Structure 1
Amino acid sequence: MSAADHTASTSEPTEPDLTPALSEALRRAAAAPALVVACDYDGTLAPFADEPMSAFAAPGALDVLARLAELPGTTVALLSGRNRAALAQVSGAGAPVVLVGSHGSEWEGGFDAPLDDDDNALLARIHAELTEIASGAPGAHVESKPTAAVLHVRPVEDPAARERATARALAGPAAADGVFVTKGKNVVEIAVREASKGAALERLTEQAGADVTIFIGDDVTDERGFARLRPQDVGIKVGPGETAAGHRVQDIPAVVRLLGTLADLRG
């Protein structure tokens, strides 16, 4: 970690980001014997980037996650739509932080079930159709994942072209039988295996025997996670938009400060 990261993570967190209700929720969570802290990556800990592998974590983010993960009874996870290898590469995070990729379906041991021939054929068809759509929207590109293909339109400068490409993907390959569609911020992911951040959070919670689980995310894909939290758990939405989360912070720096506050309280 850089000296700048270390300084950012060890500086005194600022409280104005936190509402009284969120401050109380963090104090309660910090006192739990067993705690899970799970965070989305892009838009939560790292600013979005036109080139996905250039979306590096905000200053202090990785240091404070590592600090939390070293505390007794604390499980820390990154829960991302990225495939697990890409998440590890771009974030630089590793054990004891748990990395869960592909919207909750890809763990250290891989996927629960490998793709069969039919799955692979469907995935190849989806990829080809999305590639054709991307060719008509300069700047768009298709990302390959082990069980999905993803159309990225964030780099497309023309808003109309961005919307047309998204609409074509949703009306075309996303409407095929046997696929699972996740629409996020300027992305359409089409998978041949169902994935759910909610199911992943439940698995993390069960494995850790967690008394409280905290989940922080910014995207519409994170709503499936917020919706599966228990009454005692803490859901935190980053930025504007409708949400099932019970709490909200403004931006990525506020997330880093919040995590620092939690580490101080629990430490």
Structure 2
Amino acid sequence: MARTASAILEQRGSRRLVLLCDFDGTLVEFQSDPAAVWLPESRRTLLEGFLDHPAATVGIVTGRRLIDVRERTGLPDAAYFAGLHGLEIEGGGEQFVHPQVAETRALVRGVSITLAARIAAHPGAFLEDKEMSVAVHYREAPASAHAEIMTAFEQVTRPAIETGRLRVMRGSFVLELLPNIPWNKGDAVRWIVKRVQRDGVPVFPVYIGDDVTDEDAFREVEDRGVGIAASDRVTGGDFRVDGPAGVEELLRELFKTLEPEG
């Protein structure tokens, strides 16, 4: 891991490190209940160390609501936070909510009510209502029920999808219905990087993610930074580590070898 950290920082040179991480499956282990997930103290301390460093910026880019991940990380306002796959972002004294999100809130709510009734018939599966999107989690459902759960999701959501107003994003044992807006984690990474470098500061973005929803972010950094895959579920990334424990180990090594700018 020390060699990986050294290789990353060698590529960085004297540029400012912009460390961007997914949350679930990357910084924290998956849990059957998303509400039971909190950033471990050891990892929070590491990220706070980067935040205090004069040569680094930290951001969290997640499918969770922004307000939720803020609470679950416990990180200070110096960090950037991007929620709902980048549809809402805060940091650097700015706030962003994609202007088209409000247009589909009522439609998402209506689908959510119908979907909840269908999913309730499957033990181990549950619906997560994020207000501006809705997700069905089925990690704890019997494998024999997965196909039926996916079929139920497709049947309920198809009319809204066919209008072109909503779209489906597939993750690890999760199906999410989102506003059909051409905006993703890659756009969120670009938004954050642009603000970090607006004073002419050269930057080196590093993105760490574990799921197919992170592929857009990997593509965004590939020409000017480094992508790190935290699982075998993703095909992108220049380096690979083994889950949240591997991410923690890499962050520890990165911090040990990080030198101030100039």
TM-score normalized by the length of structure 2: 0.86
Give the equivalent residue in structure 1 for 2:36: 54
1:220 aligns with 2:212: yes
1:113 to 92, 95, 99: 99
1:107 partner SS:
strand
1:83-111 CA-partner distances (Å, limit 9, x unpaired): 01111222222321222111111123351
Contact 1:212 1:233 in 2 (8 A): yes
Larger fraction in strand? 2
1:228 partner SS:
helix
Contact 1:197 1:224 in 2 (8 A): yes
The one-letter amino acid of 1:214's match is V
* Runs of 4+ with deviation above 6 angstroms: none
How has the CA–CA distance of structure 1 residues 193 and 94 changed in structure 2, closer, same or farther, with 3 Å as cutoff?
A: farther
Give the equivalent residue in structure 2 for 1:11: none
The one-letter amino acid of 1:173's match is T
By how many angstroms is 1:211 displaced? Answer: 2.3
1:52-90 CA-partner distances (Å, limit 9, x unpaired): 011122452111111001111421001110001111222
1:181 to 144, 155, 168: 168
1:161 aligns with 2:159: no
How has the CA–CA distance of structure 1 residues 137 and 54 changed in structure 2, closer, same or farther, with 3 Å as cutoff?
A: same
1:34 aligns with 2:16: yes
Moved more, 188-197 or 163-172: 163-172
Give the equivalent residue in structure 1 for 2:25: 43
In 2, Cα distance between equivalents of 1:58 and 1:240: 23
Structure 2: give runs of 5+ residues left out of the alignment.
Answer: none
In 1, Cα distance between equivalents of 2:234 and 2:139: 21
2:221 partner SS:
coil
> Alignment length, in residue pairs?
247
The one-letter amino acid of 1:207's match is R
In 2, Cα distance between equivalents of 1:120 and 1:42: 24
Contact 2:18 2:193 in 1 (8 A): yes
2:139 partner SS:
coil
In 2, Cα distance between equivalents of 1:242 and 1:47: 16
Contact 1:65 1:97 in 2 (8 A): no
TM-score normalized by the length of structure 1: 0.85
Structure 1: give runs of 5+ residues left out of the alignment.
Answer: 1-13
The one-letter amino acid of 1:36's match is V
1:131 aligns with 2:116: yes
Contact 1:153 1:166 in 2 (8 A): no
1:190 aligns with 2:173: no
For the aligned residues, what is the CA RMSD? 2.0
In 2, Cα distance between equivalents of 1:162 and 1:213: 37
